[in-house]
Amino acid sequence: MRRAYSIIVSAGMAPVLIMGACLVLAISPNLVPNELAGLVRYGPFLLAVLGGAIAWWFNRGRAVFVMLLLLICYWLLVGNGAGFSPDGLAFLRIATLYLIPINLLILGFTAERGVLNPRGIARMLVLGLQIFVMLMLAGQPDVGSALYHLLDTRFFVSAGFLDAMPHPAMIISFVAVVLLLIRHKPLETSFAAAIIAIDVATVMGTGIIQYGYLAATGVVLAGLAQEAWRMAFVDDLTGLPGRRALGHAMAELGNQYTVAMLDVDHFKKFNDTYGHDVGDIVLKKVARELSRVGGGGKAFRYGGEEFTVLFAGRTAQKATDPLEALRKRIAENKIAVPEKNKTVSVTISVGVCERDDDATDPWGVLKRADQKLYEAKQAGRNRVVA
């Protein structure tokens, strides 16, 4: 439940706010002063260029690809269509309803490969090839007309919003949105929100499409910002907040708190015996239990096999019970060793210290908790010492 809430707030709140603001502007265009009307029209171009530049800086090739895709598709929609027949232009505009969800879905399930490397360049070439083929087909009036009628398919007679888009495009968009949301990641969530924004604008009418692309580029930019934050503050292996996030959290502590330091017993020996891949599995299992430690505790990966748990507003006595329960859960769980056909037990040792008159600095309290962890090791491990 806590994880679901965190996902909704962190990954979903920004897209909802941005799309809501654009929807309000679309419904009430009078809210936009005449002086800013051009900004709304050209806003998607500006946001796409800005987002693409930021993504390039952070070497996020997928975001660069998406911003470039949105920029080109928006240009096809708002351009004057010079050189294309009405049928060819109609084909280009309806093709974007297929092109965007299919590409965003594929990107959502592919690994990040950067920008200026063979795979990143290959992605750009694939996008360029798609656009080139579309433009070439649109340049042939008869072909463009035939393809338009092929793409503008309806499975049944409908009215209202069900008739505003081709039914196959609706289905593809729905599947793409659901699968991207299942990923539970900021950038993938922003891809899903971009598809929703463009489809909603399409349903509302051609006069609203600029707001749809304004929302789409905005949510991808927000997803990129959240992705950059995750890179800086979240540990990739365990998914827990990292050392940098710990520093920020400790700076916000009040006058009453408890710090716990813990690590995995005999972890080096475990790594030497079973290999680093199994060691990574152990760290993930421990981190998963730590993420639901309870008692108001928030877990961080300190480094290596060491973890820190902060209990804001808690005494050491109140923090000890959830930590003891955590220790027991980890000790009771068996971890399967791949390719060894066996299971192993893992234990942790924990040192706990609360703020008092002798230790008022959070890092000083952490150091004392680390000393208590050493005492737990010396006393035989697999225990909590407060």
Q: Give the tens place of pLDDT for each residue, 86-109.
A: 777 788 888 888 999 999 999 888
For 364, how many CA atoms within 13 A lie in the half-sphere containing its CB? Answer: 7
pLDDT at 5: 41
pLDDT at 9: 42
| Among 370, 267, 265, 253, residue whose Cα is nearest residue 313 | 253
- CA-to-CA distance for 315 and 69, rounded, in angstroms? 53
pLDDT at 174: 92
The DSSP letter of residue 205 is -
Q: Give the tens place of pLDDT for each residue, 58-74.
A: 888 888 898 999 988 88
Cα–Cα distance list, 209 to 70, 75, 264, 280 (Å)? 12, 11, 54, 47
pLDDT exceeds cutoff 70 at 110: yes
Q: Give the tens place of pLDDT for each residue, 219-261.
A: 888 888 888 777 778 887 888 888 888 888 888 888 888 888 8
Take residue 221 and report the two structure tokens written for it. Answer: 């930019």
| Among 178, 90, 201, residue whose Cα is nearest residue 141 | 90
- CA-to-CA distance for 329 and 335, rounded, in angstroms? 12
Task: Please state, rounded to an integer, the average pLDDT across all residues of the chain.
Answer: 80
Q: Give the tens place of pLDDT for each residue, 138-178.
A: 778 787 788 878 888 877 776 666 677 888 888 999 999 99
Percent of the chain clearing pLDDT 90 (strictly above) = 3
Burial class (CB in 10 A: 0-12, 13-18, 19+), 32: middle
Phi, psi at 257, each rounded to 5°? -165, 165
pLDDT at 4: 43
Percent of the chain clearing pLDDT 70 (strictly above) = 84
pLDDT exceeds cutoff 60 at 7: no
Alpha helices by DSSP H, listed for the chain, are 2-7, 13-27, 37-57, 61-78, 86-108, 118-138, 141-151, 167-182, 186-204, 209-233, 243-251, 267-274, 276-290, 316-332, 362-378
Burial class (CB in 10 A: 0-12, 13-18, 19+), 144: buried
Q: Is 323 within 8 Å of 307 (Cβ atoms)?
A: no
Residue type at 179 in one-letter notation: L
